Structure 1
Amino acid sequence: MRTHHTGPEYLVQTAAMARRFYLEGKSKMEIADEFGISRFKVARTLESALRDGLIRLEIQLPAELDADLSDALRTRYGLRHAIVIDARQEVPDDTVQATRRLGAVTADLLAEIVTEDDVLGMVWGPEVEAVGLGLTTLARCTVVQLCGVTPLRPVDVTAVEAVRRAATIARGAVYPIYAPLLLPDATAARMLREQPGIVDAVRHFGAVTKAVVTVGGWGPGLSTVYDGLSEAEREDYRRRGVCAEVAGRLLDAEGNTLVPELAERTIAISFDELRAVPDVILMADGIQRATAASAALRTGLFNGVVTDAAVARTLL
């Protein structure tokens, strides 16, 4: 025999309560007043309906976002921002398309979190160039380039296009760096840092409130610094434990800084300056950078990450 708890009145009232609470946004107290019952009974009714399957909640995100991995990554590393894209939609080995999708999602995140009170800092890199391509809206803010570009590429307007595009969309001031990230020696780097345009950008490092930073792995095509060094230097640093590069600084697997003297040859924001930035988002592009991404997160510099599912699973 059917109990009163599953009778028609119970069912239609529960459905009505669920509609008020989940769809119309009414409080349990407002629902209680409408139906002449206590708010505790409203709460028990909704809980029972969820448990028994009368109410079924569905969370529907865009197919490219992995909600479970994003939440797990946020919890595991104590992050404020954690976005994981589902790489299963990619064509195998299509790294260009994967980078573009990661850039587009990061661009959407910046559109969501950057305000008119912010100063946005962006390192140079293919991933950040993809962010620039994906940007369609951004709050009015100043944009600062946080490091030089690859020494294997001409230092022209296209090399800093992402920074300039972000500033154009944000309708704010822009401070690009028309210089290589890695110089042949400390003297050359020191001379470039004294150039007026670079001085202007470096002076704004301390004002940055949100930053997008990429991580490089220790291998060909995975790091601007790696590609700019001699083979002897690469192998020497590998033997010393280098597995990652962030803003021209080299890291071991535990996130410790190695080869500090190399910083004298680079034009980039320092780790001390990055630690002072309230929001620093790490872009980790591709499974080949998973170890490097782990090292980067161990530095404690980052409170946000945008990556793909393969990297996220490795980090977890």
Structure 2
Amino acid sequence: MTDAEHTRLLVEVSTDYYLDGLSKVEIAKNRGISRFQVARLLTEARDAGIVRIEIAAPAHLDAGRARRLAERLGAQEVVIVPGADDRDTTREALARELARVMAARVSSGATVGVSWSRTIEAAVRTLGTLPPCDVVQLVGALPVHGSGNSLELIQRFTTMAGVRTWPVWSPLLVGDPATARGMRQQPEIAAALDRADALDLAVVSIGSWNATGSTVYPQVTEAERRAATEAGAVGECSGRLFDTRGRAVVTPLDARVVGVTLDQLVRTPDVVAIGYGTEAAAGLRGAVLGGIATVLVMDDAAAVELEHLLADPPAGILDHL
């Protein structure tokens, strides 16, 4: 057998096995050789580079992908969770991962700030327990149909031994700035919001500034929505708005919010932010760029869109990456 004929045999046997799915026994029978000869030919084909095997982990299991995203953004860590066919299942998967990330970061004696979203609420339900610590409610209540609110969430922590809570007994959004100022001056609320100046860890949600991405957006007037959009708002965190670079977007809406400020989050050393869906990507990027978030937990759809945004950033964004 010439070298060319032997090489052709290597290609044909490899095609039979790897592409056509024939067993070694079947190949041996078809070609009149032993199965041990087939095995040696397959090994030789791999050694010669005729067969190259590549193992590609699914995107959500690719730790290198998450690490690259974190490095590109300047985040401490990025966690990517596989998405599902429906939002509820995706939210539950994100909640379980958020609970794991949160539990790993809470140390005894820490002061932990917790905002509210449906995902954070679900995460707290699966959290189990925490070391003795202070848990600060970061936002007033914003009831959403079909779920709880921040007041109900903070009460879950009261069942954990050694955990002291600092509630905010107020709506997140009130009717006018004067009422908001009055609420923020109430002793219990003031004490909780003051504690937000010295957080060790915060857990927040990042939403996009539109009707489906933010629980706040549907609660405000069309004039307030338009003013925020025209001012450059792309993301929302605890009722506070920010632009593509994570800079605060201050509109009259801001004065009606009872809750943590973006400045307080920026001063917090460890902020875990959750976001999911394609539309959340711009807000997640802005949150890291502005120092609002240090750790991101997202689904694959958000990760894919974030990768696209980082590959083709708007003018001026590159200066911050």
Q: 1:315 to 1:187 in 2, by over 3 A?
A: same
Matched, 1:250 2:246: no
Which amino acid is the alignment partner of residue 118 of structure 1?
A
Identity of aligned residues (%): 33
The corresponding residue for 2:127 is 135
Q: 1:102 aligns with which of 90, 94, 99?
A: 94
The corresponding residue for 2:261 is 270
Q: 2:270 aligns with which of 269, 276, 279?
A: 279
Q: 1:66 to 1:181 in 2, by over 3 A?
A: farther
The corresponding residue for 1:314 is 305
Per the TM alignment, residue 237 of structure 1 is displaced from its structure 2 partner at its CA by 2.3
Please say if residues 60 and 300 of structure 2, whose CA atoms lie closer than 8 Å, have aligned partners that are also in contact.
no
Per the TM alignment, residue 115 of structure 1 is displaced from its structure 2 partner at its CA by 0.5
Please say if residues 130 and 163 of structure 2, whose CA atoms lie closer than 8 Å, have aligned partners that are also in contact.
no
The corresponding residue for 2:67 is 71
Q: Structure 1 CA distance, aligned partners of 2:187 and 2:248? A: 30
The corresponding residue for 2:191 is 200
Q: Structure 1 CA distance, aligned partners of 2:256 and 2:230? A: 21
Matched, 1:81 2:77: yes
Q: Which deviations, in whole Å up to 9, do the C-alpha atoms of 1:134-175 show, x marking residues without a partner?
A: 202322211001111226679x98542333323533631001
* TM-score calculated relative to the size of structure 2: 0.71
The corresponding residue for 1:16 is none
Moved more, 229-238 or 161-170: 161-170
Which amino acid is the alignment partner of residue 68 of structure 2?
A
Q: 1:121 to 1:183 in 2, by over 3 A?
A: same
Q: 1:157 to 1:151 in 2, by over 3 A?
A: closer
The corresponding residue for 1:302 is 293
Per the TM alignment, residue 104 of structure 1 is displaced from its structure 2 partner at its CA by 1.0
Q: CA RMSD in A?
A: 2.7
Q: Structure 2 CA distance, aligned partners of 1:108 and 1:168? A: 19
Runs (5+) with no aligned partner, structure 1: 1-51, 53-58
The corresponding residue for 2:225 is 234
Per the TM alignment, residue 177 of structure 1 is displaced from its structure 2 partner at its CA by 1.5
Please say if residues 284 and 296 of structure 2, whose CA atoms lie closer than 8 Å, have aligned partners that are also in contact.
no
Q: Which deviations, in whole Å up to 9, do the C-alpha atoms of 1:43-95 show, x marking residues without a partner?
A: xxxxxxxxx9xxxxxx9x999654233212221122223211122xx2x2x11
Query: What are the within-5 Å matches in structure 2 for residues 68-217 of structure 1?
Result: 68-87=64-83, 90=84, 92=85, 94-150=86-142, 159-169=150-160, 171-217=162-208
Q: 1:167 to 1:120 in 2, by over 3 A?
A: farther
Q: 1:182 to 1:258 in 2, by over 3 A?
A: same
Please say if residues 163 and 174 of structure 1, whose CA atoms lie closer than 8 Å, have aligned partners that are also in contact.
yes
Q: Structure 2 CA distance, aligned partners of 1:62 and 1:117? A: 38
Q: Structure 1 CA distance, aligned partners of 2:292 and 2:77? A: 13
Per the TM alignment, residue 244 of structure 1 is displaced from its structure 2 partner at its CA by 1.3
Which amino acid is the alignment partner of residue 196 of structure 1?
P
Which amino acid is the alignment partner of residue 98 of structure 1?
T
Which amino acid is the alignment partner of residue 195 of structure 1?
Q
Q: Which deviations, in whole Å up to 9, do the C-alpha atoms of 1:258-289 show, x marking residues without a partner?
A: 22443221111122221221101111122232
What SS does the corresponding residue of 1:258 show, helix, strand or coil? coil
Please say if residues 253 and 291 of structure 1, whose CA atoms lie closer than 8 Å, have aligned partners that are also in contact.
yes
Q: Structure 2 CA distance, aligned partners of 1:119 and 1:159? A: 17
Number of residues of Structure 1 aligned to a counterpart in Structure 2? 253
What SS does the corresponding residue of 2:292 show, helix, strand or coil? coil
* TM-score calculated relative to the size of structure 1: 0.72
Q: Which deviations, in whole Å up to 9, do the C-alpha atoms of 1:1-34 show, x marking residues without a partner?
A: xxxxxxxxxxxxxxxxxxxxxxxxxxxxxxxxxx
Q: Structure 1 CA distance, aligned partners of 2:149 and 2:272? A: 23
Structure with bigger gyration radius:
2
What SS does the corresponding residue of 1:168 show, helix, strand or coil? coil
Please say if residues 81 and 94 of structure 2, whose CA atoms lie closer than 8 Å, have aligned partners that are also in contact.
yes
Which amino acid is the alignment partner of residue 70 of structure 1?
A
What SS does the corresponding residue of 2:160 show, helix, strand or coil? helix
Please say if residues 151 and 182 of structure 1, whose CA atoms lie closer than 8 Å, have aligned partners that are also in contact.
no
Q: Structure 2 CA distance, aligned partners of 1:237 and 1:63? A: 35
Which amino acid is the alignment partner of residue 148 of structure 1?
G
